[in-house]
Structure 1
Amino acid sequence: MPTAMNVTYITLDGHLEIEKYRYVYFVFMFTSYVLILSSNSTVFCLIVIHRNLHEPMYVFIAALLMNSMLFSTVVYPKLLIDFISEKQIITYEACIFQMFLFYSSSGSEFLLLAAMAYDRYVSICKPLQYPTIMRKRKVTVLLVLSWLVPACHLVVPAVGYSQLKLCSFTLKGIYCNSSVNYNFCVTSRALYIYGLVILFNFSILPMVFILFTYTVIIIVACRSGGDVRKKAAQTCLPHLLVLLNYSCLLTYDVIIVRLKSEISKTVSFVMTLQIIMYSPLFNPVVYGLKMKEIYKHLKRLLCHARGK
């Protein structure tokens, strides 16, 4: 949808009966966004405030929750505006930027989970060396790399996409993702291969590393006493649940992009909503309820609020 001002607009055509249900969608997604921000920020603030939670494991959890809020903010505000607008459009430059932030935060999620798996491996398999290995400087480096490396890698396709000519100005989705590839007149084979490399580096490779690490942890825990097994179960289970949840969501995204023309608009719409809702809502619940130290502070906070 080119304009006289030489600004290219893309129509987001993945919405389902938006004229009929726009206010239902708006209220539902606005409520979800508020819950995401409030639940994630509550657990995040508990970790920041309480000194006994200033350990590497909890620092990584705080970073993961912050990443969930970033991920949601990339999608939700624009989505809420679209629900109450007559036209669901976005400029091509903003679309590329949204796609960049969406996949950058997704890659960071996997790298943060990989860093957490490494932390648990050192804690359970090398407990005596843990204070020496997991120093504050190393934790900081891992956090910075988790956010910086995916962003640096995704700059290349973002710049490459901005140079390609569009032949279609309608995107079959409710936000910008890699399905924008189908809008180009000529798809770039180099960018497609580079995209597969990014997918491997920031999803499949971290997932393999995490599964390998937790396999070693399980073996060590089974050979050790009951305290080690209990510690492994309490601290590793939440991470595995989050990994399983996010891996399913990534698979959804890949399926939607690859089978966009073969699946119904209803199925695509429902699956897309799951991608942007489940993980940001799931993470604070898992860590707030399953991590013993966080749960104690959360319970105390709720009791204090109820007492008032």
Structure 2
Amino acid sequence: MARRALGKKPQSPIVPVAQALKKLGYDPIPLRSGKGTPPKGWPKIPNGEKDIAGWRGHTVAVRMQRSPDLFGADLDIQRQDVLDEIIRRYQERWPDFMARCVIRHSGGVKVMLIGRLSTDKRHMYSNRYGVTEEHKGGNRVELFTSNDARYIAVWGRHSPPDREYGFDGPQLHEVALADLPEFLDADLNELLAIANEVMEGLGLAMVERGGIDKGDVAFDLVADMMAELEDGRHITLEELEEEASDKFVYVHGRIFDPGSDHFRVKAKVTSQGLTLWDFGTDTVHYWRHLGPQMDVLGPQLAALAAAAAGGESM
């Protein structure tokens, strides 16, 4: 029987999108199957023309740090009326930026406004409002800058089975990075303040912002728990304690919330040892062995003492 000649594998649909992004000044990477599925070692994945030609996957993202001055304002809002009012206020305050920025959505209410920003700031966010059982993450605005060692997904699958990224207007791979409108560093606090004002004005209850030393407390860390770092490594908490001995280290939220899609946990060694602050839930996590222990022996001794005092037998 004659052997059938093997043809070339069909090109993945993410390839031309990634190639276009690269030519336009962005730093693309492939994601396997949606926003939270980066390949191992994604911060260092090469993306030359030949590299991209062999990519497989369902989603394209861009690395913030290697896309000079890239800026994203993620309006993580669950109510359409709240989003509409924030957008209206932004259009009124920054008409040129809002008319020219790239607006990405993901099949739900929330959107991301993408432009350029020259800043030394890394990561900022508004207060959190309207946390419910259905929307445990609540509503807030989060800012991504090119000092942030994260990525933003910009094309393809958002999450299975059929939620896709889309754009209101031009897609990111149709607009050069240099042609994006510039947002001013001096206006960042006002951007967040407007969002806070709108959310509060429309009746959403604010969640008190936690910190490394306050908020709900959980004693649930054990040495062999695995943490995913921004550079793609997966290490145990025992190893993380050494790494975070003299600096803050960002950890993916999946360590506490399987549905998390970003690095929302900050780790640092404090006087209590390794401390993880989950700013998605405003919870501070400590080693399990430091937590209050259930006193089993105490009540038994008290009962024995009472029985002896009363002459009762046990």
TM interval, shorter chain, is under 0.3
User: Which is richer in strand?
Assistant: 2
When normalised by structure 2's length, the TM-score is: 0.24
Q: Comparing both structures, which one devotes a greater share of its residues to helix?
A: 1
Task: Give the TM-score of the pair, scaled to structure 1.
Answer: 0.25
Say which one has the larger Rg: 2
Higher relative contact order (CA 8 A, sep 6+): 1
